[in-house]
Structure formats: structure tokens, C-alpha cells
Chain A
Amino acid sequence: MSLDLLVAILMTVAGAATPLLIAGLGELVVEKSGVLNLGVEGMMLIGAVTGFAVATTTGLPVLGALGAMAAAALASAIFAFLVLTLMANQVATGLALTIFGTGVSALIGAPFVGITTPTFGPIFPEALTSSPLLRLVFGHSPVVYLGLILTLAVSWFLARSRAGLILRAVGESDTAAHAIGYPVLKVRYCAILFGGAMAGLAGSYYSLVLTPMWAERLTAGRGWIAIALVVFASWKPGRMLAGAYLFGLVITMELQAKAAGFNMFAPEVLAALPYVATIAVLAIISAAKRGGANAPACLGKSFRATA
């Protein structure tokens, strides 16, 4: 295997992993606060279409990404109002958000079908990307680096910051947190909005970087993988990073193996690999005694302030 090929593969892995990582980190924070938002796919689609619309209209992809975050956060605010203030069922509302996002993105996107958009240019000077190894370090889209920074930030926030401690407390025992005087609903509102913005950013990564176009259902179910990755990562940002890149690696290797003419297995077997890998890792994680599944205790429960 030549160095060029290896680098090309690794670059593709980073590209495939980044949106899963970003959307997954958002959902991880939401779930840590005790809310299960199954609307990631819908918010990603809203982000993808808004990002594309803003970027093509203004010619500025950065503005597109910001617009995507704002629009998806707005969609998540609707979800937050329904499940927090009106105490609707979180699972059903999340699913409704996905259906809503799919429909509304198709509606907004109708005039944008069939055109392409300016995309994020490389942020490092060209001299730095001349050799394959340097390209591996400096040649990615800026969003890839942003994904890594976000992992560190979320990890620090949850483990080291006071606000992160409060957020975890709210997710583990909402009544206790409330009794001490923490604003449970406010914390959850913030977490959901953050999750929405992250899903929007991840969605815009598809429409602005990976496949710079808008087509209905552009994200093709990646939001669901992001949700699964949260469980896979057992609610730890570091493992989320590993999980997203592992998943990216498996889907890339599947295609690379086929492209190399490797046909020992039927194509369907290779296509099933990512999911088989997911199940295998989940089984290993839940079998492990320590650091196993540590879902927030209040995940998915509605909270009503008493007294």
C-alpha cells in the first residue's frame, strides 16, 4: 500500500467521522442533562439546508455554518419547549422532530436543488500540504479540526467546570439538583440548544463540505448513527471521538476493500460491517465491570418542580 493511498484513506476517514463526532457530542451533552432527543437527524437536515441556503446566497460558507447552527438550535428550542415546559414524551417528540426536520428541510431546499456552493477552503498555506504526511496533518477541512477542539472542550466542560458539574447533577438526579437550588429546566434548555447547534453544524458539514449540494434527505440517516454512538461511547467525550473515528474507519475500509477488488465476501457482508462492529463493541462495553454503561439516571424522564 503506497503512502499516498494510505493518506487518502485516512483523510476520508476523518471526513466521514467528523459530522458523526460533532452531532454525537451535542447529543451527549443533551443526554448528560437527562434529556433524550431523538431528533438529531431532523436537526441535521435543517442545518444542512440552512447552511446551504445561506452559503449560496451570501457566498460565505462560514456564514452558512453559523446559520445552520442557529436554525437547528431554533428547531431544538421547539423540542425543548414541548418536552420541558409542556412535559411531552421525549421519545415521541424527538421522533416528531426528525419527521418535521425532514419535511421542512425539503420545503426550504426546493429552490436550491441542482446547484452547488462555495465550500470551506483549506486554512493552512499550500506549502504545508505538499507532501502526503503533511497533508494528513494540515490538509483537512477546518471543520475536522473544529471537531477535535470541540471534543476537548466538551470533555473539559463536563469533567472540570462547575457548570458541567451542575449539568451532570441535573442529569443524574433532577429532584436533588432542584432541592439544592439549581435551575433544572434552564440547564436542560441550554443543553438542548447546544445539542441543536451541534447537529446543525454537523448537517452543514454534509451540504457544505462532504457533498457540496442540497438534495432531500441529504444526511441519509447519519443522525441515528450519532445517537447510537452516544451509547457506544458510554456518555464519555473521549470515547465518542474514538467511536466516531472507528465508525468512519469501518465505513471507509468497506468501500476501499471493494474498490481494491477484494471480493472474498458478498458486498452485503462488507456493508453490514459497521453495524456488526457497533454491536460487538457495545457487547464488550457492557460486559466490562467498570466504566460500563453509565447512562444518566434521569435520562428521558420529565421533570416537574415541586415546591
Chain B
Amino acid sequence: MFELSRRKLLAAGAALGLAATSVAPAFAQDGKETVKAAFVYVGPVGDYGWTYAHDQARLCLEKNLGDKVTTSYVENVAEGPDAERVIRQLAQDGNDIVFTTSFGFMNPTIKVAKQFPDVKFEHATGYTTGGNANMGLYNSKFYQGRAVLGTIAAKMSKSGKAGYVASFPIPEVVMGINAFQLAAQKINPDFKTQVVWVNSWYDPAKEADATRALLSQGADVITQHTDSPAPLQAAEEAGAIAFGQAWNMESFAPNAHMTAIVDQWCPYYTGRIQALLDGTWEADNVWLGMKEGEVEMAPFNAKMPEDVKAAAQKIVDETKAGTYEVFTGPIKDQSGEVKIPEGEVIPEGDLLKMDWYVEGVQS
């Protein structure tokens, strides 16, 4: 506590000194000696899912850059006005860069970025910076992992029906559902994906109940786009199969857990802070996937049959090689009409605005 306040005092003194001699140097543009970075999380760091993955990356960043970076985080920030308050506070506290790690933080981040042109902002999973030059966007192509899950699901399902526990109908989630279903359909043309919206990113009891509802309605594969391991546990209890979300969740369901989409944010975070240190930071809009190592699959369950493993590994390998793209036409929408003609690939910009479901998705 004393350390902190003394440091603040010194900093304030230095700032005053600078102002008095009116030496307003342009060193803000150049590299920095140290960087102070803050992270805004939508859930608790202990969710063992989305937020946990971001926090692991934060710790990894600290390890990679040592003394050159100090980090802090605020967890459980509600999407909306509360987020704006938190982000503004972090900007005022002298952070050089603020990472906001949930879709719903996009508009608050844009607002605060306008007010603090000297602070850098990076928003995960959003689609616009509102024209701010000091705000970047970053995202991972999780849908590439979803295609692997869909392949495994269709190969292993007996009922031909998967249950999808989903949070909110935003493009990120819609895209994931479609990728899962499209990959499954390639294996089994009659495959169906039933979606249940739980209207929350994190509500373990409700996620578990939604899973039980899906299982009792005939689904025998469960996948999720919510942040807790509860769906996996409910699947384990019922003897169904399921997949981890954001992190390897095998410990929760050793039999049900086939694999997981693992989010690896560390290389990106390290790269961005290094850019700040070097003075080369520029607002970017990146969407990295398996090829760049930002999306990984957890080790396949030993129980998985060899042919399923091979089919899943093939998707991973071809995705990395750039020869497989799940959103390749012909793709039909829910009404059965061809929306994307044969051979055409849905452009990235359209994916990030996706608001329609492919054939076989029941939502």
C-alpha cells in the first residue's frame, strides 16, 4: 500500500515538474521502458473457461516479459454501463493498455477510447472500433475448433442429434453453431443440432439443467458456448459425450470429455505488449486461428475410436494447412434454400455479422 502511494506521489511530482518547465516531450510515441496493462473480464477468473483462459494468458504474459510489464484485472464486470465505468477507471489509473475481453464490452470500450486518446485499447470478439485509432480488435477463429467437434459428434452420435447449450444469439455464437452443424452434416446428412439458449455466459445450475433437458429430448452429444464445465458434468452423469469450452475440462468429466477447444491468448498478448515497448503498436483487427496457434484442440479422449480420431485430426491438419474451410458452399439455410453457392466461401466480414442458421439447426 505504502509502496504504491509513494510511487504515485513520485509520478505526480515528476508530472508536475514536467508541466512546470513545460517540457511536453513526444516520448509517448516512442517505445516505453515498462508497460502497465489491465484486463477486464466478464466472468470470475475461477470459471475454468473463457475468463480463466484469458487470465492464464495474462500470467503467461507476465512470465514472458518479466519486469517490463505490470498487469492487473477486474473480474465479474457486467456487460453494459458498469463496464464503461470500470474501463474508464482503468484508463484513469494510468494503464497504458486495456484489454476488454467480452463481446458486450465493445460499445463501452469505444466510448472510453474516444475520451482517452493516449491510452491503447484492445477489444476481443467485437466487429468495430467506432473509428478510434487507439483501439484494436482481436479474435480467434473458434469456429475452426467447432468444425472438429461437429465431426466427432456426427461420427459418435447414435441418435444423430446434438444438444447445444448456448449463451446469446450474437454472431460469434451463431457462427459456432453453424460450423458445428456443417461439419457434422458432412458425416451424416440427417444430423440435427438442437440449441437451447440459457441467456447467460455463466450460470452453472442453469447450464446443467439445459443439458439435462437436451439429453432427455434425445440428444446424445452435448456441446456448449457457455463458460462453466456444468454441461460436461451433466453429460458425464448421463453417459453422453461432450466437449470442453475454452480450456481443457477433462478433469470434470473424464469419460464424457472427448476434446476441447483451448483458447491460447498468450502469444497475442505478449506480442501486443512487446509492440508497445518497441513503440510499434498500431490499431489492428486480427482474427487468428489454428494456424497461428491461437486455437488448439485438447488431447483426444483415449476412449475415442481410432477412425474418429483420424477424421478429427484430418480437420485439424487441413485447417492448419489452409486447405479446409468449413464455411464452403453449397450451404443451405434453415428453410432449405441454398444461401451460399457451390465452391464459394463465406467472407470473414460476413461471418462476423452472421445472423442466420444453416440447415439442420433447430433453435
Determine if A220 and B204 form an interchain contact, defined as CB atoms under 8 angstroms apart: yes
Q: How far is it, in angstroms, between the C-alpha of A42 and the C-alpha of B197 when the chains are bound? A: 27
Q: How far is it, in angstroms, between the C-alpha of A260 and the C-alpha of B219 when the chains are bound? A: 10
A271 sits at the interface (CB 8 A): yes
Q: In which size bucket is the chain A interface?
A: 35 or more
Residues of chain A within 8 A of B209, CB atoms compared: 12, 15-16, 251-252, 255
Closest B-chain residue to A113, C-beta based?
B46
Q: How far is it, in angstroms, between the C-alpha of A191 and the C-alpha of B44 when the chains are bound? A: 33
Residue interface bits A9-31, CB-to-B below 8 A is 1, else 0:
10010011000000000000000
Determine if A210 and B46 form an interchain contact, defined as CB atoms under 8 angstroms apart: no
Determine if A8 and B204 form an interchain contact, defined as CB atoms under 8 angstroms apart: no
Q: How far is it, in angstroms, between the C-alpha of A214 and the C-alpha of B43 when the chains are bound? A: 14
CB contact between B48 and one of A9, A16, A114, A263 (< 8 Å): that residue? A114
The residue among B44, B45, B52, B200 with the most chain A CB atoms within 10 A of its own CB is B44
Determine if B214 and A215 form an interchain contact, defined as CB atoms under 8 angstroms apart: no
A161 sits at the interface (CB 8 A): no
Determine if A220 and B196 form an interchain contact, defined as CB atoms under 8 angstroms apart: no
- Which residues, 142 to 170 on B, are CB-close (under 8 Å) to A? 163, 169
Q: How far is it, in angstroms, between the C-alpha of A8 and the C-alpha of B46 when the chains are bound? A: 31
Q: Chain A nearest CB: distance from B5 CB in Å? A: 23
Residues of chain A within 8 A of B210, CB atoms compared: 255, 258-259
Given contacts A116-B251, A259-B163, contact A109 B205 (CB under 8 A): no
B216 sits at the interface (CB 8 A): yes
CB contact between A116 and one of B202, B208, B233 (< 8 Å): that residue? B233
Q: Chain A nearest CB: distance from B211 CB in Å? A: 9
Q: Chain A nearest CB: distance from B39 CB in Å? A: 16
Determine if A217 and B199 form an interchain contact, defined as CB atoms under 8 angstroms apart: no
A189 sits at the interface (CB 8 A): no
CB contact between B205 and one of A4, A16, A110, A261 (< 8 Å): that residue? A16
A222 sits at the interface (CB 8 A): yes
Residues of chain B within 8 A of A258, CB atoms compared: 195-197, 210, 213
B64 sits at the interface (CB 8 A): no
B230 sits at the interface (CB 8 A): yes
Q: How far is it, in angstroms, between the C-alpha of A82 and the C-alpha of B142 when the chains are bound? A: 50
Residues of chain A within 8 A of B212, CB atoms compared: 8, 12
Closest A-chain residue to B247, C-beta based?
A114
CB contact between B194 and one of A109, A110, A219, A259 (< 8 Å): that residue? A259
A256 sits at the interface (CB 8 A): yes
Residues of chain B within 8 A of A109, CB atoms compared: 46
B206 sits at the interface (CB 8 A): yes
B319 sits at the interface (CB 8 A): no
Closest B-chain residue to A258, C-beta based?
B196
Q: Chain B nearest CB: distance from A168 CB in Å? A: 33
Q: How far is it, in angstroms, between the C-alpha of A255 and the C-alpha of B230 when the chains are bound? A: 15
Residue interface bits A139-161, CB-to-B below 8 A is 1, else 0:
00000000000000000000000
Determine if A256 and B217 form an interchain contact, defined as CB atoms under 8 angstroms apart: yes
Residues of chain B within 8 A of A4, CB atoms compared: 216
The residue among A5, A206, A212, A213 with the most chain B CB atoms within 10 A of its own CB is A213
CB contact between B45 and one of A210, A216, A220, A255 (< 8 Å): that residue? A216
A170 sits at the interface (CB 8 A): no
Residue interface bits B32-61, CB-to-A below 8 A is 1, else 0:
000000000001111110001000000000
Q: How far is it, in angstroms, between the C-alpha of A4 and the C-alpha of B214 when the chains are bound? A: 13
B363 sits at the interface (CB 8 A): yes
Residues of chain A within 8 A of B214, CB atoms compared: 259
Q: Chain A nearest CB: distance from B163 CB in Å? A: 7
Given contacts A16-B209, A115-B251, A255-B210, contact A215 B47 (CB under 8 A): yes
Given contacts A116-B251, A258-B197, A267-B197, contact A218 B204 (CB under 8 A): yes
CB contact between B251 and one of A8, A114, A261 (< 8 Å): that residue? A114
Known: A4-B216, A8-B216. 4 other contacts (CB 8 A): A113-B52, A211-B234, A216-B45, A259-B214
Q: List 9 A-B contacts (CB under 8 A).
A: A8-B215, A16-B209, A116-B252, A211-B228, A218-B204, A220-B202, A255-B209, A258-B213, A267-B197
